[in-house]
Amino acid sequence: MTQVTSSNIGYPRIGEQREWKKALEKYWNGSLSQQELLATTKEVRLNGLRKQKELGIDLIPVGDFSLYDHVLDTALMFGIVPERFQNNGLSASSLDTYFAIARGTKEAYASEMTKWFNTNYHYIVPEFDHAKPILVENRPLTFYREAKEELGIEGKPVILGPISFLKLGKGYKETEFTSLLEKFLPLYIQILKELESDGVEWVQIDEPILVTELSGEEIPIIKQTYQTIAEAVPSLKLVLQTYFESIHHYEELIHLPVAGFGLDFVHGDALEVIRQFGFPQDKVLFAGIIDGRNVWRKDLEQTWGILEIIQQIVEQDRIIIQPSCSLLHVPITKELEHTLDPIIKAGLSFADEKLKEIAILADGLTFGKTKISKEVNESTEAIQRLNQSNYRRKSENGVDLQEVQAERQSPFSQRILEQQEALQLPLLPTTTIGSLPQTAEVRKQRLRWRKGDLSTQEYEQFINKEIKKWIEIQEEIGLDVLVHGEFERTDMVEYFGEKLNGFQVTKYGWVQSYGSRCVKPPLIFGDVSFDHPMTVKESVYAQSLTDKHVKGMLTGPVTILNWSFVRDDISEFDVLNQIAIALRKEIEELEANNITIIQVDEPALREGLPLKRINWEAYLNHAVHAFKLATTTVKNSTQIHTHMCYSSFGDIYDAINRLDADVISIETSRSHGELISTFEENTYNKEIGLGVYDIHSPRVPAKEELKENIYRALATIPVKQFWINPDCGLKTRKEEETIAALKVMVEVAQEIREEQLQTVKNN
């Protein structure tokens, strides 16, 4: 009898209590030494390895851990340090250099940060300008030895593959890809040879770029790359790991000279692909059959059915069971969620529970299904209890979506005239994106309130005090359109998850978003509906304190959907429309209370775009429809804003236009105006703000930087359409740096406003 192997692709980095995050932030503020940081994070890393071993995983990934981002780790491993960070006397192996690239310094702006494929994880974009790579450290080998020596674990080293690594970077022309690859390939081979010499059996090479629509001309390059690697390390077993979709050029790439392929059987159509094209008899199939991106328990009976189909194509002794992708995207364990409804909790599966599911299925394949019949029945019964509960009534909130208005009363050309008359804003109006700094005191008082140590009345008084303070600060700085600051909100999605019916917020369900920033995606477990006003009280109070306009601030339906863990028993688009109708009622409440500018943020619109173009149109149509469902019942004079960040907007320009928002603000600071090229190639007739400085870095921007960004934009976008704002919310920044940066921004705006008005006067 052959034991079927269980495997994992990657494990969460943050620790059950976010020990990793807390250590990083203490190090950054100077209250933790480098030695203490490394000791703390090592213990988090080793604990993760121990748990995977205890949960029955045979092939445990090593080297997937990171202090910030695995793409940045790969860049520094090869000595790829942007030139602006090379004159500070620090080396590529320096931790200070590492964090400087990610977060910026007073002297140098941070590297660009963008979304990891269609997830809410952000990676640091490598900069390959004039790259002269060297192998600074063999990180996979270091972590392999650590796991073996400390825990006796024969780990599976993980490395980001050369094709994906270079494709995810910038700073070279498309025609230079091959020559750049030739510089890195010997270093990859050196890493693999050293792993081979150390007795490593399996190495996981992540090549998620293979699920995207690579051109036919790139296939020979990929084939030659892996042929060269295979010849250099003939005895090393390489698993080429893909995820998030099926491989685009499957019938060609599946024959690459590697020992195994990792396929995602949850997202995309991998099952149909292997049915059509088969699977090579000389390779091992690492079958990703447990969803690594959502938190709902797997019906093991249904999953067993998928495995039976796979076994008709691939012999059992060549199948290894694993999740569909790294478990980086889900919380660590549901065991800490003591306050959840038992029906909901029983239907959940976080990282540790998913590993249990994998181990169970591996045992089932080894010893027969009867060996795991108890576990299979338990999973089916738990899911049935949830699906048959009152939480899931399959309603439409009493609304016939076919009859609901989804268009504004008048076209933008008419609306903008009424808005200009009603709002009386200056040329180049200044504003922020919404959130203002949440200090330690804000978090402390919220925690006291949640624990019951502070009454609701006392807590609301505290929040109002913060709102009042920051309305006064914004007026003093000279901003034109103010915000209330969102001090009552933990997170832009979690907050609404606490207010809308059909959502459940967890206590410890944290996942990494970028750097040390962790979020708790709420669970959408039932039908979503509006219960009571969610943002009106704070918005109305803030507006009562000033004669300037205060924006109402909401998170849009697509972002709430994409940044939540969504029920999997009905279509996601049905859930999306339920969210939109609920938000529509909130927007109508804001307007009824004389909030005349309402921002509905959609930073995740581009992120949710399917990886295959054939699926784009359906997704974008649903996304646009949901946004319009939420926003189109307001009066012409009410101005609807939206905000988006870290996206390739050329891909979705038409959809952005169809949203019919009056004003859109877009991140463009870290890409330093590159995004503006989209608007150079297209005519956009609505109003727009391009983020003029990077809020993810603690540095205060220089006036010259902001002017350069603004002038570049004004060369393309008419001055009457242009707004000036930071690139994202200011929640994570300190008060003093926020005030200083906003002062610079407003000063620059006022200077350019005067220049533009003088130009108009002279003409």
- Sequence-ordered list of residues with C-beta below 8 angstroms from that of 646, at least 6 positions apart, any chain: 113, 114, 115, 122, 603, 607, 667, 670
Q: Which residues pair with 504 in a beta bridge?
A: 523
Q: Which two tokens stand for residue 454?
A: 């502070």
- Please say whether the dihedral angle defined by the alpha carbons of residues 645, 420, 585 and 544, taken in this order, is positive or negative: positive
Q: Which two tokens stand for residue 447?
A: 């925690």
Residue 325 assigned to a binding site: no
Residue 167 assigned to a binding site: no
433 residue type, one letter: I
**Which member of 70, 248, 329, 696 is catalytic?**
696
Residue 433 assigned to a binding site: yes
622 is catalytic: no
Residue 601 assigned to a binding site: yes
Residue 736 assigned to a binding site: no
Residue 50 assigned to a binding site: no
Residue 20 assigned to a binding site: yes
Q: Which two tokens stand for residue 343?
A: 């029906």
Residue 21 assigned to a binding site: yes
Rounded to whole angstroms, how far apart are CA atoms 110 and 106? 10
Residue 296 assigned to a binding site: no
Residue 19 assigned to a binding site: yes
644 φ, ψ to 5°? -135, 150
Q: What is the DSSP string of 509-560?
A: --EEEETTEEE-PPEEEEEEE--S-SSHHHHHHHHHT-SSEE-EEEE-HHHH
Rounded to whole angstroms, how far apart are CA atoms 190 and 133? 13
- Residue 198 is given by DSSP the state T
- Residue 298 is given by DSSP the state P
Rounded to whole angstroms, how far apart are CA atoms 308 and 559? 36
Residue 625 assigned to a binding site: no
- Sequence-ordered list of residues with C-beta below 8 angstroms from that of 504, at least 6 positions apart, any chain: 340, 341, 344, 497, 522, 523, 525
Residue 645 assigned to a binding site: yes
Among 622, 588, 587, 584, CA closest to 605:
622
Neighbours of 753 (CB within 10 A): 17
Rounded to whole angstroms, how far apart are CA atoms 235 and 249? 26
Residue 667 assigned to a binding site: yes
Instruction: Evaluate whether 311 touches 330 at the Cβ level (below 8 Å).
Output: no
Residue 728 assigned to a binding site: yes
Q: How many residues would you count in the chain?
A: 763
Annotation: binding site for L-homocysteine: 433-435, 486, 601
Annotation: binding site for 5-methyltetrahydropteroyltri-L-glutamate: 18-21, 115, 517-518, 563, 607
Annotation: binding site: 18-21, 115, 433-435, 486, 517-518, 563, 601, 607, 643, 645, 667, 728
Annotation: binding site for Zn(2+): 643, 645, 667, 728
Question: Would you name the residues annotated as active-site residues?
Answer: 696
Annotation: binding site for L-methionine: 433-435, 486, 601
